[in-house]
Amino acid sequence: MTLFKLLTAVFFTAVISSHSFAGDMITEYPLPIPNTYPTGISVDQNGDVWFLEYSNNSLARFIPKTRELEQFKIPTSKSGSIDTAVGGDGIIWFSEEDSNSLGKFDPNTKKFTEYVLPFPKAKPASVLVAREGLVWLLGWNNDLLISFDPKSEEFRGYKIPSKSSNSYDLAQGADGWLWFIQRSTNKLTKFEPSSGTFKEYKIAESAQMAMGTVVDSKGSIWFIQMVDNKLTRFDPKAEKIVGEFVIPKNKGTKEIAIDKKDNIWLIQHTDNRLLRFSPGASHFQTFDIPTAKAKPVSMAVDSQGSIWFTEVGKSSIGFLDIKLAGEIAKNLKVRFKPPKNILR
């Protein structure tokens, strides 16, 4: 394993990066229909994997234990569905950008319900099911943060202070606050549901086309500054950026996720790889996807800490086994269980 140093810009003197051949760690499952553009992946409490087939206008379920795939046609044709979230009750929620709706699927009855947003041309993208049960959406086209109450089936809209914010990537902290990125206005935004108030934080002087967000167990907010290629940590208590880590050279990061051990995971679409960052070790580890030009776009972490992701280039879903990937210790050694017969 080769190690090399990357200098960071401001807060830390160095970040260590390592590269792993992931051929034995990653399993890919080709979908039966080509060019379905799978995206918006989530994992439910049973370990079943849910994702959207954008071009096929379907919601799909993959059952890892049996390797069965079920596909369910979304009632509205050309819905433009792109993001999913699983509720505590197992209900699947998804955003319908083109039909301006919130979709709901009940795995028990296998029935869809679609709710047209009362806000014209909102174009909902990111969807989040909060711990208290409300479903949240970002209407990136009209600067709205939107809540939906599944019990009353009522929507409520909150106007984001900055105009033309182009907001994406919802996350919720332990305190109930919601966080998201305003890509066009270069801001990180906090929203308190109980008071309905926003607070905005400028990310940098120069435009960063930021993306994210995720919240770690200590309450820190993580996101990516795309232009400067930095993984960034924001401290809500200090209300400032407290860490910037230069990401190994790449051609564009697509998505960010976090596991229960606070490791940050990134998808690098063009480079055809996954990236893991350990805050404790300040270490990036790269996992190349075996299939060339798989073009991963969306990912989710299951209850075991393994990574599921969609591949639009080959119309497949992928699985990175965390048991084989191992853990990154603070002494920068990567601990892993080697595949069987590797020395044969």
Candidates 177, 176, 227; CA nearest to 201 is: 177
> What does pTM read for this prediction?
0.88
Domain assignment present for residue 4? The answer is: no
From residue 92, give the alpha-carbon distance in Å to each of 39, 129, 185, 308: 14, 9, 31, 17
Domain assignment present for residue 285? The answer is: no
Determine the pLDDT at residue 15.
46
- Least confident residue range of 62-76, 111-125, 169-183, 278-292: 278-292
Domain assignment present for residue 124? The answer is: yes
What is the SS3 assignment for 324?
Answer: helix
Distance (Å, whole) CA 280 – CA 336 = 17
Domain assignment present for residue 317? The answer is: no
Domain assignment present for residue 82? The answer is: yes
From residue 194, give the alpha-carbon distance in Å to each of 92, 191, 269: 25, 9, 37
Would you call 25 exposed, middle or buried from its count of C-beta atoms within 10 A (0-12, 13-18, 19+)? buried
Domain assignment present for residue 267? The answer is: no
> CA angle, corner 253, sides to 225 and 256, nearest 5?
80
**Residue 182 contacts residue 167 (beta carbons within 8 Å):** yes
| Residue predicted with more confidence, 5 or 160 | 160
CATH number at residue 58: 2.130.10.10
Distance (Å, whole) CA 254 – CA 91 = 26
For the chain, the domain total comes to 1
Residue 323 φ then ψ, to 5°? -65, -35
Tokens found for residue 321: 């086994």
- Is the peptide bond preceding residue 189 cis, with omega within 30 degrees of 0? no
Domain assignment present for residue 281? The answer is: no
Reported as a pLDDT band with limits 50, 70 and 90, residue 23 is low
Q: What is the pLDDT of residues 294-334, one digit of tens each?
A: 999 999 999 999 999 999 999 999 999 999 988 765 544 44
From residue 10, give the alpha-carbon distance in Å to each of 13, 63, 140, 340: 8, 45, 31, 43
**Residue 311 contacts residue 296 (beta carbons within 8 Å):** yes
Domain assignment present for residue 251? The answer is: no
Burial string for 240-272 (b: 16+ CB within 10 Å, else e) reads ebebbbbbbebeebbbbbbbeebbbbbbbbebb
Percent of the chain with pLDDT over 70: 88
Q: What is the pLDDT of residues 331-344, one digit of tens each?
A: 444 444 544 543 33
Where are any strands of DSSP class E within 64-143?
68-73, 81-86, 92-96, 101-106, 111-116, 124-129, 135-139
| H helix or E strand, kind and range, residue 54 | none
User: Which residue range(s) make up the domain with 103?
Assistant: 33-159
